[in-house]
Amino acid sequence: MSPETVVPDLRIVPATGLDLVSLNDLVNNPRVAQYLDLIPPVPIEATLAFWKHVEDGVVRLWCIWQGDRIIGATGIVLNPAGTKLSHGAAFFIYLAPVAWGKGVGDRAMRHIEEDAREQGLGRLECMVAATNLWAIRLYERHGFVHEGVKRGAFRDGSGVTDLLVMGKLL
User: Is the bond preceding residue 41 a cis peptide, omega within 30 degrees?
Assistant: yes
Domain contains 149: no
Domain contains 114: yes
Structural contact between residues 124 and 115, judged by C-beta atoms closer than 8 angstroms: no
CATH number for the domain harbouring residue 55: 3.40.630.30
Domain contains 146: no
Domain contains 136: no
pLDDT tens per residue across span 20-74: 999 999 999 999 999 999 999 999 999 999 999 999 999 999 999 999 999 999 9
Q: Is the pLDDT of residue 5 over 70?
A: no
The pLDDT of residue 4 is 44
Distance from the first to the final alpha carbon of the chain: 25
Domain contains 42: yes
Domain contains 138: no
Per-residue b/e over 75-95, b at no fewer than 16 CB within 10 Å?
Answer: bbebbeeeeeeeebbbbbbbb
Q: Model pTM? A: 0.93
Domain contains 23: yes
The count of structural domains within the chain is: 1
- The domain of 102 spans 3-121
Domain contains 151: no
